[in-house]
Amino acid sequence: MTTSPDIDLGALSIRAVRDGLASGAFTAEALTEACLAQVRALNGKYNAIIFENEAALDTAREIDRKRAAGEALGPLAGVPVVVKDPMDMAGFPSTAGWRLLYSGTGGVDLMPERDSPVVARMRAADAVILGKTNVPILSWTGTHANDSWAGPTINPAIEDRAPGGSSAGTAAAVATHMAVVGLAEETGGSIQNPASAQGLVGIKPTIGLVPNAGVVPLSGNRDVVGPIARRVEDAALCLDVLAGFTTEDPKTLASVDKIPEGGYAAGLSTDALKGKRLGLYGPGWRKDALSPEAAALYARAKSELEALGAVLVEDPFAGTDFATLRQITPGTPFFDGRGLESIPYDMTLYLRRLGPDAALKTWEDFVAATAAEDPLAPGAILGYLKELPDFLEAEKSPATPPALPEFTALKRKYLRLIEEVFARHRLDALVYPQMLQELPGLHSGDAILETTVGELNIAGIPGVTMPAGYYASGAPFELIFLGRQWSEPELLACAYAYEQGTQHRKPAV
Protein backbone atom coordinates (compact mmCIF):
# COMPACT_ATOMS: atom_id res chain seq x y z
CA MET A 1 0.00 0.00 0.00
CA THR A 2 1.44 3.37 -1.02
CA THR A 3 0.25 6.43 0.89
CA SER A 4 1.85 9.01 -1.41
CA PRO A 5 2.27 9.19 -5.18
CA ASP A 6 5.85 10.34 -4.55
CA ILE A 7 7.04 7.82 -1.91
CA ASP A 8 6.65 4.07 -2.39
CA LEU A 9 6.99 2.89 1.20
CA GLY A 10 7.22 -0.76 0.18
CA ALA A 11 10.33 -0.04 -1.89
CA LEU A 12 12.06 1.98 0.82
CA SER A 13 15.40 0.90 2.19
CA ILE A 14 17.96 2.82 4.24
CA ARG A 15 19.97 3.36 1.07
CA ALA A 16 16.84 4.61 -0.75
CA VAL A 17 16.10 7.04 2.10
CA ARG A 18 19.66 8.39 1.95
CA ASP A 19 19.49 8.77 -1.83
CA GLY A 20 16.01 10.32 -1.78
CA LEU A 21 16.94 12.92 0.81
CA ALA A 22 20.24 13.71 -0.90
CA SER A 23 18.62 14.15 -4.30
CA GLY A 24 15.68 16.14 -2.99
CA ALA A 25 13.18 13.54 -4.19
CA PHE A 26 11.53 13.94 -0.78
CA THR A 27 12.21 15.51 2.59
CA ALA A 28 12.47 13.80 5.95
CA GLU A 29 9.25 15.56 6.92
CA ALA A 30 7.39 14.25 3.85
CA LEU A 31 8.67 10.73 4.45
CA THR A 32 7.63 10.85 8.10
CA GLU A 33 4.20 12.12 7.14
CA ALA A 34 3.84 9.25 4.67
CA CYS A 35 4.78 6.71 7.33
CA LEU A 36 2.41 8.26 9.86
CA ALA A 37 -0.35 8.05 7.24
CA GLN A 38 0.50 4.35 6.87
CA VAL A 39 0.21 3.97 10.64
CA ARG A 40 -3.21 5.62 10.59
CA ALA A 41 -4.32 3.42 7.70
CA LEU A 42 -3.10 0.03 8.99
CA ASN A 43 -2.28 0.10 12.69
CA GLY A 44 -5.92 -0.27 13.70
CA LYS A 45 -5.92 -3.64 11.95
CA TYR A 46 -2.46 -5.02 12.78
CA ASN A 47 -1.92 -3.40 16.20
CA ALA A 48 1.82 -2.99 15.79
CA ILE A 49 2.43 0.40 17.44
CA ILE A 50 1.00 1.03 20.91
CA PHE A 51 2.48 4.49 21.58
CA GLU A 52 2.98 7.02 18.80
CA ASN A 53 5.82 9.50 19.15
CA GLU A 54 4.33 12.96 18.72
CA ALA A 55 7.83 14.41 18.32
CA ALA A 56 8.52 12.40 15.14
CA LEU A 57 7.66 15.24 12.77
CA ASP A 58 9.71 17.70 14.78
CA THR A 59 12.68 15.33 14.54
CA ALA A 60 12.18 15.07 10.78
CA ARG A 61 11.98 18.84 10.37
CA GLU A 62 15.22 19.26 12.35
CA ILE A 63 16.92 16.75 10.03
CA ASP A 64 15.74 18.76 7.04
CA ARG A 65 17.04 21.95 8.65
CA LYS A 66 20.45 20.38 9.30
CA ARG A 67 20.65 19.13 5.74
CA ALA A 68 19.77 22.54 4.33
CA ALA A 69 22.38 24.16 6.56
CA GLY A 70 25.07 21.67 5.52
CA GLU A 71 25.41 20.27 9.04
CA ALA A 72 26.62 16.72 9.69
CA LEU A 73 23.92 14.05 9.84
CA GLY A 74 23.90 10.58 11.35
CA PRO A 75 23.95 7.33 9.35
CA LEU A 76 20.19 6.76 9.76
CA ALA A 77 19.16 10.37 9.10
CA GLY A 78 15.46 10.49 8.27
CA VAL A 79 14.99 6.72 8.42
CA PRO A 80 11.62 5.84 10.05
CA VAL A 81 12.11 3.31 12.86
CA VAL A 82 10.12 1.76 15.70
CA VAL A 83 11.22 0.65 19.17
CA LYS A 84 10.04 -2.40 21.11
CA ASP A 85 7.97 -1.37 24.13
CA PRO A 86 10.29 -2.71 26.91
CA MET A 87 13.16 -0.49 25.72
CA ASP A 88 13.33 2.68 27.79
CA MET A 89 12.53 5.82 25.83
CA ALA A 90 12.28 9.11 27.71
CA GLY A 91 8.73 10.42 27.82
CA PHE A 92 7.11 7.00 27.40
CA PRO A 93 6.32 4.26 29.91
CA SER A 94 7.96 0.88 29.48
CA THR A 95 4.92 -1.33 30.05
CA ALA A 96 6.27 -4.73 28.98
CA GLY A 97 2.79 -5.39 27.59
CA TRP A 98 1.29 -5.72 31.07
CA ARG A 99 -1.79 -3.83 32.27
CA LEU A 100 -0.29 -3.73 35.77
CA LEU A 101 2.65 -1.72 34.42
CA TYR A 102 0.58 0.89 32.61
CA SER A 103 -1.47 3.64 34.24
CA GLY A 104 -3.87 3.68 31.30
CA THR A 105 -5.10 0.24 32.37
CA GLY A 106 -4.99 0.80 36.12
CA GLY A 107 -1.35 -0.07 36.79
CA VAL A 108 1.79 1.88 37.62
CA ASP A 109 4.01 3.51 35.01
CA LEU A 110 7.70 2.68 34.72
CA MET A 111 8.83 6.06 33.40
CA PRO A 112 12.55 6.23 32.58
CA GLU A 113 14.46 9.40 33.25
CA ARG A 114 16.63 8.75 30.17
CA ASP A 115 16.78 6.61 27.06
CA SER A 116 18.20 3.12 27.01
CA PRO A 117 21.56 3.02 25.20
CA VAL A 118 20.03 1.46 22.08
CA VAL A 119 17.37 4.17 21.81
CA ALA A 120 19.99 6.85 22.48
CA ARG A 121 22.07 5.41 19.64
CA MET A 122 19.12 5.55 17.25
CA ARG A 123 18.53 9.20 18.16
CA ALA A 124 22.23 10.00 17.75
CA ALA A 125 22.07 8.39 14.29
CA ASP A 126 19.24 10.85 13.43
CA ALA A 127 16.64 8.11 12.94
CA VAL A 128 13.02 9.23 13.19
CA ILE A 129 11.39 7.16 15.94
CA LEU A 130 7.70 6.73 15.11
CA GLY A 131 6.68 4.97 18.32
CA LYS A 132 6.86 1.93 20.57
CA THR A 133 5.57 -1.50 19.61
CA ASN A 134 3.40 -4.23 21.09
CA VAL A 135 4.62 -7.22 23.13
CA PRO A 136 3.05 -9.97 25.26
CA ILE A 137 3.16 -9.65 29.05
CA LEU A 138 6.81 -9.45 30.16
CA SER A 139 7.86 -10.62 26.68
CA TRP A 140 7.26 -14.14 27.95
CA THR A 141 6.27 -15.91 24.73
CA GLY A 142 8.01 -16.29 21.40
CA THR A 143 4.73 -16.96 19.60
CA HIS A 144 2.26 -14.07 19.92
CA ALA A 145 1.20 -10.91 21.77
CA ASN A 146 -2.32 -12.10 22.58
CA ASP A 147 -2.19 -11.22 26.29
CA SER A 148 -0.87 -7.67 25.88
CA TRP A 149 -2.91 -4.90 27.51
CA ALA A 150 -3.06 -3.40 24.01
CA GLY A 151 -4.59 -6.53 22.48
CA PRO A 152 -3.06 -8.98 19.99
CA THR A 153 -0.80 -8.09 17.10
CA ILE A 154 -1.93 -9.56 13.77
CA ASN A 155 0.54 -11.13 11.34
CA PRO A 156 0.48 -9.13 8.07
CA ALA A 157 2.03 -12.05 6.15
CA ILE A 158 -0.82 -14.45 7.02
CA GLU A 159 -3.46 -12.99 9.29
CA ASP A 160 -4.88 -16.13 10.88
CA ARG A 161 -1.47 -17.33 12.10
CA ALA A 162 0.74 -16.36 15.04
CA PRO A 163 2.87 -13.26 14.39
CA GLY A 164 5.83 -14.53 16.40
CA GLY A 165 6.85 -13.00 19.68
CA SER A 166 7.77 -11.27 21.72
CA SER A 167 8.80 -8.61 19.19
CA ALA A 168 5.50 -9.10 17.37
CA GLY A 169 4.70 -5.39 17.03
CA THR A 170 8.13 -4.41 15.75
CA ALA A 171 7.94 -7.05 13.02
CA ALA A 172 4.40 -6.04 12.05
CA ALA A 173 5.35 -2.36 11.78
CA VAL A 174 8.22 -3.25 9.44
CA ALA A 175 6.16 -5.77 7.44
CA THR A 176 3.38 -3.22 6.83
CA HIS A 177 5.87 -0.52 5.72
CA MET A 178 5.13 1.76 8.67
CA ALA A 179 8.87 1.75 9.36
CA VAL A 180 11.99 0.72 7.46
CA VAL A 181 13.62 -1.02 10.44
CA GLY A 182 12.67 -1.76 14.02
CA LEU A 183 14.36 -2.61 17.30
CA ALA A 184 13.61 -6.06 18.66
CA GLU A 185 15.00 -8.04 21.58
CA GLU A 186 15.52 -11.75 22.18
CA THR A 187 15.78 -13.92 25.26
CA GLY A 188 14.27 -17.05 23.72
CA GLY A 189 13.31 -16.56 20.08
CA SER A 190 11.90 -13.05 20.29
CA ILE A 191 13.84 -11.70 17.29
CA GLN A 192 14.08 -14.79 15.12
CA ASN A 193 10.49 -15.98 15.61
CA PRO A 194 8.63 -12.78 14.62
CA ALA A 195 11.04 -12.10 11.78
CA SER A 196 10.48 -15.60 10.43
CA ALA A 197 6.74 -15.56 11.05
CA GLN A 198 6.33 -12.36 9.05
CA GLY A 199 8.79 -12.94 6.21
CA LEU A 200 11.49 -10.56 7.43
CA VAL A 201 15.19 -10.41 8.25
CA GLY A 202 16.21 -10.55 11.90
CA ILE A 203 19.62 -10.38 13.56
CA LYS A 204 20.03 -11.97 16.97
CA PRO A 205 23.54 -10.74 17.90
CA THR A 206 26.24 -12.32 20.01
CA ILE A 207 25.70 -11.63 23.69
CA GLY A 208 27.83 -8.56 24.50
CA LEU A 209 27.72 -6.95 21.06
CA VAL A 210 24.70 -4.70 21.72
CA PRO A 211 23.86 -3.22 25.14
CA ASN A 212 20.63 -4.28 26.84
CA ALA A 213 20.76 -1.86 29.78
CA GLY A 214 17.50 0.05 30.10
CA VAL A 215 15.40 -2.81 28.71
CA VAL A 216 12.82 -4.52 30.95
CA PRO A 217 14.68 -7.78 31.59
CA LEU A 218 13.95 -11.45 31.48
CA SER A 219 17.61 -12.40 31.74
CA GLY A 220 20.71 -10.24 31.81
CA ASN A 221 22.55 -13.37 30.68
CA ARG A 222 20.43 -14.00 27.58
CA ASP A 223 18.64 -10.75 26.64
CA VAL A 224 20.02 -9.12 23.50
CA VAL A 225 18.76 -6.29 21.27
CA GLY A 226 18.86 -6.55 17.48
CA PRO A 227 17.19 -5.23 14.33
CA ILE A 228 14.30 -6.50 12.23
CA ALA A 229 14.14 -5.30 8.63
CA ARG A 230 12.84 -6.24 5.19
CA ARG A 231 16.34 -6.51 3.70
CA VAL A 232 19.64 -7.91 4.91
CA GLU A 233 21.51 -4.70 4.12
CA ASP A 234 19.07 -2.63 6.20
CA ALA A 235 19.46 -4.97 9.17
CA ALA A 236 23.25 -4.75 8.84
CA LEU A 237 23.23 -0.95 8.66
CA CYS A 238 21.04 -0.81 11.76
CA LEU A 239 23.39 -3.18 13.59
CA ASP A 240 26.23 -0.78 12.75
CA VAL A 241 24.46 1.83 14.89
CA LEU A 242 23.47 -0.49 17.74
CA ALA A 243 26.72 -2.38 18.28
CA GLY A 244 29.54 -1.41 20.58
CA PHE A 245 30.75 -0.70 24.09
CA THR A 246 29.02 1.38 26.73
CA THR A 247 29.93 1.61 30.41
CA GLU A 248 26.22 1.13 31.15
CA ASP A 249 26.59 -2.49 30.06
CA PRO A 250 30.08 -3.77 30.97
CA LYS A 251 29.72 -7.03 29.02
CA THR A 252 29.84 -4.98 25.79
CA LEU A 253 33.54 -4.38 26.49
CA ALA A 254 34.10 -7.79 24.87
CA SER A 255 32.95 -6.35 21.54
CA VAL A 256 35.58 -3.64 21.11
CA ASP A 257 37.83 -5.66 18.78
CA LYS A 258 35.04 -7.71 17.22
CA ILE A 259 33.22 -5.07 15.14
CA PRO A 260 34.44 -5.04 11.52
CA GLU A 261 36.19 -2.00 10.11
CA GLY A 262 33.70 -0.15 7.94
CA GLY A 263 30.72 -1.80 9.57
CA TYR A 264 28.61 -4.89 9.00
CA ALA A 265 27.15 -3.79 5.68
CA ALA A 266 30.57 -3.19 4.13
CA GLY A 267 31.27 -6.91 3.76
CA LEU A 268 28.06 -7.83 1.93
CA SER A 269 28.62 -9.51 -1.42
CA THR A 270 26.54 -11.51 -3.86
CA ASP A 271 29.48 -13.95 -4.12
CA ALA A 272 29.79 -14.55 -0.38
CA LEU A 273 28.47 -18.13 -0.47
CA LYS A 274 31.10 -19.37 -2.91
CA GLY A 275 33.20 -22.01 -1.19
CA LYS A 276 31.51 -21.52 2.19
CA ARG A 277 31.12 -24.73 4.20
CA LEU A 278 27.67 -24.77 5.82
CA GLY A 279 26.46 -27.32 8.36
CA LEU A 280 22.92 -28.65 7.94
CA TYR A 281 20.17 -29.36 10.46
CA GLY A 282 20.00 -32.91 11.76
CA PRO A 283 19.49 -35.11 14.83
CA GLY A 284 23.02 -34.38 16.04
CA TRP A 285 21.83 -30.83 16.78
CA ARG A 286 18.30 -31.70 17.87
CA LYS A 287 16.19 -34.85 17.54
CA ASP A 288 13.05 -32.94 16.45
CA ALA A 289 12.12 -33.80 12.86
CA LEU A 290 10.93 -31.36 10.22
CA SER A 291 7.40 -31.61 8.86
CA PRO A 292 7.25 -33.06 5.32
CA GLU A 293 6.55 -29.64 3.80
CA ALA A 294 9.31 -27.96 5.82
CA ALA A 295 11.70 -30.71 4.73
CA ALA A 296 10.76 -30.13 1.07
CA LEU A 297 11.28 -26.37 1.35
CA TYR A 298 14.60 -26.95 3.12
CA ALA A 299 15.67 -29.32 0.33
CA ARG A 300 14.93 -26.60 -2.21
CA ALA A 301 16.91 -24.08 -0.15
CA LYS A 302 19.85 -26.48 0.01
CA SER A 303 19.84 -26.76 -3.77
CA GLU A 304 19.79 -22.97 -4.02
CA LEU A 305 22.70 -22.66 -1.60
CA GLU A 306 24.73 -25.16 -3.62
CA ALA A 307 23.91 -23.33 -6.84
CA LEU A 308 25.29 -20.16 -5.20
CA GLY A 309 28.55 -21.95 -4.45
CA ALA A 310 28.12 -23.27 -0.90
CA VAL A 311 29.48 -26.65 0.22
CA LEU A 312 26.93 -28.38 2.46
CA VAL A 313 27.91 -30.63 5.37
CA GLU A 314 25.27 -33.07 6.61
CA ASP A 315 24.50 -33.01 10.35
CA PRO A 316 27.95 -31.98 11.59
CA PHE A 317 26.92 -32.48 15.24
CA ALA A 318 26.28 -36.21 14.66
CA GLY A 319 28.31 -38.33 17.06
CA THR A 320 28.40 -35.63 19.75
CA ASP A 321 26.21 -35.28 22.83
CA PHE A 322 25.06 -31.79 21.76
CA ALA A 323 21.39 -32.78 21.42
CA THR A 324 21.31 -34.10 24.99
CA LEU A 325 22.09 -30.68 26.49
CA ARG A 326 18.70 -29.14 25.69
CA GLN A 327 15.98 -29.49 28.34
CA ILE A 328 12.36 -28.38 28.16
CA THR A 329 11.71 -26.46 31.37
CA PRO A 330 8.66 -27.88 33.21
CA GLY A 331 5.61 -25.65 32.71
CA THR A 332 6.77 -24.13 29.41
CA PRO A 333 5.95 -25.06 25.81
CA PHE A 334 9.07 -26.16 23.92
CA PHE A 335 11.38 -23.82 25.86
CA ASP A 336 14.65 -24.20 27.76
CA GLY A 337 14.57 -21.42 30.34
CA ARG A 338 17.93 -21.90 31.98
CA GLY A 339 19.70 -18.58 32.49
CA LEU A 340 16.55 -16.71 33.51
CA GLU A 341 17.13 -17.44 37.19
CA SER A 342 18.77 -14.04 37.65
CA ILE A 343 15.60 -12.04 36.96
CA PRO A 344 15.28 -10.71 40.57
CA TYR A 345 18.75 -9.18 40.32
CA ASP A 346 18.30 -8.08 36.71
CA MET A 347 15.01 -6.36 37.56
CA THR A 348 16.65 -4.68 40.54
CA LEU A 349 19.28 -3.14 38.25
CA TYR A 350 16.65 -2.13 35.70
CA LEU A 351 14.44 -0.38 38.27
CA ARG A 352 17.46 1.39 39.76
CA ARG A 353 18.30 2.84 36.34
CA LEU A 354 14.83 4.40 35.99
CA GLY A 355 15.90 7.12 38.40
CA PRO A 356 14.99 8.40 41.86
CA ASP A 357 11.40 9.24 40.93
CA ALA A 358 10.54 5.77 39.66
CA ALA A 359 7.23 4.33 40.87
CA LEU A 360 8.97 1.02 41.64
CA LYS A 361 12.51 0.91 42.99
CA THR A 362 13.16 -2.66 44.12
CA TRP A 363 12.30 -6.25 43.26
CA GLU A 364 10.05 -6.27 46.32
CA ASP A 365 8.21 -3.21 44.94
CA PHE A 366 7.78 -5.01 41.62
CA VAL A 367 6.41 -8.15 43.28
CA ALA A 368 3.96 -6.10 45.37
CA ALA A 369 2.76 -4.04 42.40
CA THR A 370 2.04 -7.15 40.34
CA ALA A 371 0.69 -9.36 43.12
CA ALA A 372 -2.81 -9.30 41.60
CA GLU A 373 -1.44 -11.34 38.68
CA ASP A 374 1.63 -12.89 40.29
CA PRO A 375 3.76 -13.99 37.31
CA LEU A 376 5.77 -16.35 39.51
CA ALA A 377 2.78 -18.29 40.86
CA PRO A 378 2.43 -21.95 39.89
CA GLY A 379 1.01 -22.08 36.37
CA ALA A 380 1.59 -18.35 35.76
CA ILE A 381 3.70 -17.05 32.88
CA LEU A 382 6.97 -17.13 34.83
CA GLY A 383 5.98 -19.86 37.27
CA TYR A 384 8.46 -22.19 35.60
CA LEU A 385 11.34 -20.17 37.05
CA LYS A 386 10.92 -21.98 40.36
CA GLU A 387 11.80 -25.18 38.52
CA LEU A 388 15.20 -23.80 37.51
CA PRO A 389 18.19 -24.86 39.61
CA ASP A 390 19.58 -21.46 40.62
CA PHE A 391 16.38 -19.40 40.91
CA LEU A 392 15.44 -19.99 44.56
CA GLU A 393 18.88 -18.89 45.71
CA ALA A 394 18.77 -15.79 43.49
CA GLU A 395 15.31 -14.86 44.82
CA LYS A 396 16.52 -14.85 48.43
CA SER A 397 18.65 -11.74 47.90
CA PRO A 398 17.55 -9.81 44.79
CA ALA A 399 20.19 -7.10 45.21
CA THR A 400 23.05 -9.64 45.26
CA PRO A 401 24.52 -10.81 41.94
CA PRO A 402 23.69 -14.53 41.67
CA ALA A 403 26.44 -17.03 40.87
CA LEU A 404 24.41 -19.19 38.42
CA PRO A 405 26.88 -22.10 38.48
CA GLU A 406 24.70 -24.53 36.52
CA PHE A 407 23.93 -22.01 33.78
CA THR A 408 27.58 -21.05 33.30
CA ALA A 409 28.63 -24.71 33.17
CA LEU A 410 25.98 -25.38 30.52
CA LYS A 411 27.06 -22.36 28.47
CA ARG A 412 30.65 -23.60 28.55
CA LYS A 413 29.58 -27.03 27.26
CA TYR A 414 27.63 -25.51 24.38
CA LEU A 415 30.43 -23.18 23.33
CA ARG A 416 33.13 -25.85 23.49
CA LEU A 417 31.07 -28.30 21.43
CA ILE A 418 30.32 -25.64 18.82
CA GLU A 419 34.00 -24.76 18.54
CA GLU A 420 34.98 -28.43 18.24
CA VAL A 421 32.40 -29.16 15.52
CA PHE A 422 33.26 -26.05 13.51
CA ALA A 423 36.96 -26.93 13.65
CA ARG A 424 36.46 -30.62 12.79
CA HIS A 425 34.31 -29.91 9.73
CA ARG A 426 36.01 -26.62 8.78
CA LEU A 427 32.61 -24.90 8.91
CA ASP A 428 31.96 -21.27 8.13
CA ALA A 429 28.37 -21.32 9.44
CA LEU A 430 25.29 -23.45 10.01
CA VAL A 431 22.10 -23.01 7.99
CA TYR A 432 18.86 -24.45 9.33
CA PRO A 433 15.15 -24.04 8.69
CA GLN A 434 14.14 -21.62 11.44
CA MET A 435 10.98 -23.60 12.31
CA LEU A 436 10.19 -27.30 12.27
CA GLN A 437 6.82 -26.70 10.66
CA GLU A 438 4.59 -23.85 9.60
CA LEU A 439 3.07 -21.32 11.97
CA PRO A 440 0.33 -22.24 14.45
CA GLY A 441 -3.02 -20.46 14.46
CA LEU A 442 -3.17 -16.98 15.96
CA HIS A 443 -5.31 -18.03 18.93
CA SER A 444 -4.58 -21.77 18.88
CA GLY A 445 -2.51 -21.73 22.03
CA ASP A 446 0.17 -23.74 20.23
CA ALA A 447 3.77 -22.59 20.35
CA ILE A 448 6.04 -21.88 17.40
CA LEU A 449 8.28 -24.92 17.02
CA GLU A 450 11.69 -23.46 16.24
CA THR A 451 14.99 -25.26 15.70
CA THR A 452 17.50 -23.12 17.60
CA VAL A 453 15.94 -21.35 20.60
CA GLY A 454 17.68 -22.38 23.78
CA GLU A 455 20.88 -23.58 22.16
CA LEU A 456 21.38 -20.21 20.45
CA ASN A 457 20.38 -18.14 23.48
CA ILE A 458 22.23 -20.07 26.18
CA ALA A 459 25.42 -20.27 24.12
CA GLY A 460 25.01 -16.57 23.24
CA ILE A 461 25.93 -17.09 19.59
CA PRO A 462 24.51 -15.02 16.71
CA GLY A 463 21.84 -15.91 14.19
CA VAL A 464 20.43 -14.23 11.08
CA THR A 465 16.96 -15.20 9.84
CA MET A 466 15.82 -14.53 6.31
CA PRO A 467 13.04 -15.40 3.83
CA ALA A 468 13.43 -18.64 1.88
CA GLY A 469 9.96 -19.19 0.41
CA TYR A 470 6.42 -19.95 1.50
CA TYR A 471 4.31 -22.91 2.53
CA ALA A 472 1.31 -23.79 0.39
CA SER A 473 -0.84 -21.96 2.98
CA GLY A 474 1.08 -18.72 2.37
CA ALA A 475 2.94 -18.86 5.70
CA PRO A 476 6.57 -17.77 5.35
CA PHE A 477 9.41 -20.30 5.37
CA GLU A 478 12.75 -18.96 6.61
CA LEU A 479 16.32 -20.03 7.07
CA ILE A 480 18.53 -19.11 9.98
CA PHE A 481 22.28 -18.77 9.55
CA LEU A 482 24.15 -19.54 12.80
CA GLY A 483 27.78 -19.16 13.69
CA ARG A 484 30.40 -18.90 16.39
CA GLN A 485 30.50 -15.88 18.69
CA TRP A 486 31.18 -12.59 16.85
CA SER A 487 30.59 -14.12 13.41
CA GLU A 488 27.90 -11.61 12.41
CA PRO A 489 29.91 -10.35 9.38
CA GLU A 490 30.14 -13.84 7.88
CA LEU A 491 26.51 -14.70 8.63
CA LEU A 492 25.23 -11.46 7.13
CA ALA A 493 27.35 -11.96 4.03
CA CYS A 494 25.91 -15.46 3.54
CA ALA A 495 22.37 -14.22 4.13
CA TYR A 496 22.83 -11.34 1.69
CA ALA A 497 24.16 -13.61 -1.05
CA TYR A 498 21.22 -15.97 -0.57
CA GLU A 499 18.73 -13.09 -0.52
CA GLN A 500 20.11 -11.55 -3.70
CA GLY A 501 20.38 -14.91 -5.42
CA THR A 502 16.83 -16.04 -4.69
CA GLN A 503 14.64 -12.97 -4.04
CA HIS A 504 12.05 -15.05 -2.19
CA ARG A 505 10.39 -12.34 -0.12
CA LYS A 506 7.00 -11.00 -1.17
CA PRO A 507 5.53 -7.79 0.33
CA ALA A 508 2.97 -8.55 3.05
CA VAL A 509 0.71 -5.57 2.21
Domains of the chain: 9-258+271-502 (3.90.1300.10)
Q: Give the mean model confidence (pLDDT) for residues 160-182.
A: 98
Q: Give the mean model confidence (pLDDT) for residues 16-39.
A: 97
pLDDT at 6 over 80: no
Catalytically annotated residue among 84, 132, 204, 302: 84
Q: Give the mean model confidence (pLDDT) for residues 56-83.
A: 98
The secondary structure element, H or E, covering residue 470 is strand 463-470
Q: Is the dihedral of CA 266, 233, 183, 337 positive or negative?
A: negative
- The confidence score (pLDDT) of residue 1 equals 37
Catalytically annotated residue among 148, 190, 219, 342: 190
Residue 13 among the catalytic residues: no
- The confidence score (pLDDT) of residue 431 equals 99
Residue 166 among the catalytic residues: yes
Return the percentage of the chain with pLDDT > 90, whole number.
Answer: 96
Provide the phi-psi class of 309: left if phi over 0, else alpha when psi is between -120 and 50, else beta. left
Region of poorest pLDDT, from 4-8, 32-36, 64-68: 4-8
- The confidence score (pLDDT) of residue 3 equals 43
Strands (E), 100-189: 128-133, 181-186
For the entire predicted model, the pTM comes to: 0.98
The phi and psi torsions of 293 (rounded to 5 degrees) equal -70, -40
Q: Using one digit for the tens of pLDDT, what is the confidence trace for 272-305? A: 999 999 999 999 999 999 999 999 999 999 999 9
> Over the chain, what is the mean pLDDT?
97
Q: Give the mean model confidence (pLDDT) for residues 418-437.
A: 98
Neighbours of 283 (CB within 10 A): 12
- The confidence score (pLDDT) of residue 2 equals 38
* Contacts of 416-423 spanning 24+ positions with Cβ under 8 A: 417/317, 417/320, 417/321, 417/322, 417/325, 418/459, 418/461, 418/484, 419/484, 420/320, 421/279, 421/316, 421/317, 421/320, 421/322, 422/484
Tell me the C-alpha distance between 123 and 31, whole Å: 17
Residue 396 among the catalytic residues: no
Catalytically annotated residue among 94, 116, 166, 219: 166
pLDDT at 427 over 70: yes
pLDDT at 153 over 90: yes
- The confidence score (pLDDT) of residue 420 equals 98
Tell me the C-alpha distance between 242 and 434, whole Å: 24
